[in-house]
Amino acid sequence: MFFKLFSDNIFKKIIVYLKMLKKIILIILFSFYNFHIYAFEPYSGISCHSDSVKGKEEYFFKHDENHIYATAYKRVNGQFIKVGNVVGQKVSSFLLFEDITIDKNLNFAWHLDMVTKNLKPFILTLDGKNKFEMPEKYDCISKNFWF
Protein backbone atom coordinates (compact mmCIF):
# COMPACT_ATOMS: atom_id res chain seq x y z
CA MET A 1 0.00 0.00 0.00
CA PHE A 2 2.81 2.41 0.91
CA PHE A 3 4.59 1.44 -2.26
CA LYS A 4 1.47 2.11 -4.34
CA LEU A 5 0.99 5.60 -2.79
CA PHE A 6 4.66 6.33 -3.22
CA SER A 7 4.63 5.24 -6.89
CA ASP A 8 1.38 7.15 -7.70
CA ASN A 9 2.85 10.29 -6.18
CA ILE A 10 6.06 9.91 -8.18
CA PHE A 11 4.14 9.31 -11.42
CA LYS A 12 2.05 12.46 -10.84
CA LYS A 13 5.20 14.50 -10.28
CA ILE A 14 6.81 13.02 -13.37
CA ILE A 15 3.73 13.89 -15.46
CA VAL A 16 3.76 17.48 -14.12
CA TYR A 17 7.48 17.79 -14.92
CA LEU A 18 6.97 16.36 -18.43
CA LYS A 19 4.16 18.86 -19.15
CA MET A 20 6.36 21.70 -17.93
CA LEU A 21 9.28 20.41 -20.02
CA LYS A 22 6.98 20.22 -23.06
CA LYS A 23 6.00 23.90 -22.59
CA ILE A 24 9.65 24.92 -22.22
CA ILE A 25 10.60 23.03 -25.39
CA LEU A 26 7.74 24.69 -27.31
CA ILE A 27 8.83 28.13 -26.11
CA ILE A 28 12.40 27.42 -27.21
CA LEU A 29 11.25 26.15 -30.62
CA PHE A 30 8.99 29.19 -31.19
CA SER A 31 11.81 31.52 -30.23
CA PHE A 32 13.81 30.20 -33.21
CA TYR A 33 10.89 30.85 -35.56
CA ASN A 34 11.39 34.06 -37.53
CA PHE A 35 8.39 36.27 -36.75
CA HIS A 36 7.89 39.19 -39.09
CA ILE A 37 6.91 42.34 -37.29
CA TYR A 38 5.80 45.31 -39.33
CA ALA A 39 5.62 48.84 -38.03
CA PHE A 40 3.64 51.48 -39.82
CA GLU A 41 4.84 55.03 -40.00
CA PRO A 42 2.29 57.66 -39.12
CA TYR A 43 0.76 59.79 -41.81
CA SER A 44 1.45 63.48 -41.32
CA GLY A 45 -1.54 65.70 -41.61
CA ILE A 46 -3.44 68.61 -40.18
CA SER A 47 -6.40 69.17 -37.90
CA CYS A 48 -8.20 72.41 -38.71
CA HIS A 49 -10.89 74.50 -37.05
CA SER A 50 -12.66 77.77 -37.67
CA ASP A 51 -14.42 80.15 -35.30
CA SER A 52 -17.50 80.40 -37.52
CA VAL A 53 -17.81 76.70 -38.46
CA LYS A 54 -18.60 74.05 -35.85
CA GLY A 55 -16.45 70.94 -35.86
CA LYS A 56 -13.07 70.38 -37.42
CA GLU A 57 -11.59 69.23 -40.68
CA GLU A 58 -8.79 66.64 -40.72
CA TYR A 59 -6.53 65.90 -43.65
CA PHE A 60 -3.49 63.73 -44.11
CA PHE A 61 -1.13 63.37 -47.02
CA LYS A 62 0.54 60.29 -48.49
CA HIS A 63 3.82 60.65 -50.27
CA ASP A 64 5.17 58.78 -53.26
CA GLU A 65 8.41 56.82 -53.50
CA ASN A 66 10.39 60.08 -53.74
CA HIS A 67 8.90 61.29 -50.43
CA ILE A 68 6.97 64.04 -52.17
CA TYR A 69 3.34 64.49 -51.09
CA ALA A 70 1.11 63.08 -53.80
CA THR A 71 -2.37 62.30 -52.42
CA ALA A 72 -4.69 64.08 -49.98
CA TYR A 73 -7.18 62.32 -47.69
CA LYS A 74 -9.96 63.85 -45.61
CA ARG A 75 -11.86 62.46 -42.63
CA VAL A 76 -15.52 62.12 -43.62
CA ASN A 77 -17.95 60.40 -41.23
CA GLY A 78 -15.05 59.05 -39.18
CA GLN A 79 -13.21 57.47 -42.14
CA PHE A 80 -10.45 58.90 -44.30
CA ILE A 81 -11.31 59.06 -47.98
CA LYS A 82 -9.20 60.18 -50.92
CA VAL A 83 -10.26 63.71 -51.86
CA GLY A 84 -7.69 64.55 -54.49
CA ASN A 85 -4.10 64.99 -55.45
CA VAL A 86 -1.48 67.43 -54.32
CA VAL A 87 -1.25 69.81 -57.27
CA GLY A 88 1.49 72.09 -56.00
CA GLN A 89 3.99 72.27 -53.20
CA LYS A 90 7.13 73.96 -52.05
CA VAL A 91 8.93 72.20 -49.23
CA SER A 92 8.46 73.93 -45.87
CA SER A 93 6.46 76.68 -47.55
CA PHE A 94 3.06 75.65 -48.92
CA LEU A 95 0.94 72.74 -50.09
CA LEU A 96 -1.87 73.02 -52.66
CA PHE A 97 -4.26 70.06 -52.76
CA GLU A 98 -7.63 69.24 -54.36
CA ASP A 99 -10.79 68.51 -52.38
CA ILE A 100 -13.63 66.77 -54.27
CA THR A 101 -15.93 67.14 -51.25
CA ILE A 102 -16.15 70.87 -52.07
CA ASP A 103 -16.28 70.64 -55.87
CA LYS A 104 -16.49 67.38 -57.83
CA ASN A 105 -15.10 69.03 -60.99
CA LEU A 106 -11.72 69.61 -59.31
CA ASN A 107 -11.87 73.36 -59.79
CA PHE A 108 -11.22 73.85 -56.10
CA ALA A 109 -8.14 73.31 -53.95
CA TRP A 110 -6.89 74.17 -50.50
CA HIS A 111 -3.77 76.26 -49.98
CA LEU A 112 -1.96 75.25 -46.79
CA ASP A 113 0.70 77.64 -45.58
CA MET A 114 3.20 75.29 -43.92
CA VAL A 115 4.66 78.08 -41.75
CA THR A 116 1.51 79.64 -40.30
CA LYS A 117 -0.68 76.52 -40.73
CA ASN A 118 -3.47 78.57 -42.33
CA LEU A 119 -5.73 76.68 -44.72
CA LYS A 120 -7.31 78.94 -47.35
CA PRO A 121 -9.71 78.12 -50.20
CA PHE A 122 -8.29 78.44 -53.69
CA ILE A 123 -10.04 78.24 -57.08
CA LEU A 124 -7.99 76.39 -59.69
CA THR A 125 -10.01 77.39 -62.77
CA LEU A 126 -12.54 80.18 -63.18
CA ASP A 127 -15.58 78.71 -64.86
CA GLY A 128 -19.02 80.34 -64.95
CA LYS A 129 -20.78 76.96 -65.14
CA ASN A 130 -19.45 75.43 -61.92
CA LYS A 131 -20.64 77.43 -58.96
CA PHE A 132 -20.09 76.34 -55.38
CA GLU A 133 -20.00 78.02 -52.02
CA MET A 134 -16.51 78.98 -50.94
CA PRO A 135 -15.62 77.48 -47.56
CA GLU A 136 -14.18 79.40 -44.63
CA LYS A 137 -10.50 79.89 -43.91
CA TYR A 138 -9.20 77.48 -41.22
CA ASP A 139 -6.49 77.58 -38.60
CA CYS A 140 -4.68 74.24 -38.37
CA ILE A 141 -2.22 72.32 -36.28
CA SER A 142 0.07 69.50 -37.39
CA LYS A 143 -1.08 66.04 -36.42
CA ASN A 144 0.10 62.49 -37.01
CA PHE A 145 -2.47 59.82 -37.80
CA TRP A 146 -1.70 56.21 -36.83
CA PHE A 147 -3.70 53.35 -38.32
What pLDDT, on a 0 to 100 scale, did the predictor assign at position 36?
A: 66
Q: Which residues pair with 60 in a beta bridge?
A: 45, 73
Q: What is the mean pLDDT of residues 98-108?
A: 84
Is the backbone of residue 60 left (phi > 0), alpha (psi -120 to 50) or beta? beta
Domain that holds residue 79: 43-145
Q: Where are the alpha helices (DSSP H) in 33-143?
A: none
Identify which has the larger pLDDT, 125 or 108.
Answer: 108
Q: How far are the Cα atoms of 68, 71, 132, 134 from residue 121, in angstroms, in the given order?
A: 22, 18, 12, 7
pLDDT for 53 equals 79
Q: How many domains does the chain have?
A: 2
Same domain, 28 and 50: no
Q: How far is CA 40 from CA 4, 83, 144, 146, 147, in A?
A: 61, 22, 12, 8, 8
Shared domain check, 70 and 138: yes
* 29 and 52 fall within a common domain: no
pLDDT digit string (tens) for 35-87? Answer: 666 666 778 899 999 888 788 999 999 888 877 788 999 999 989 999 999 99
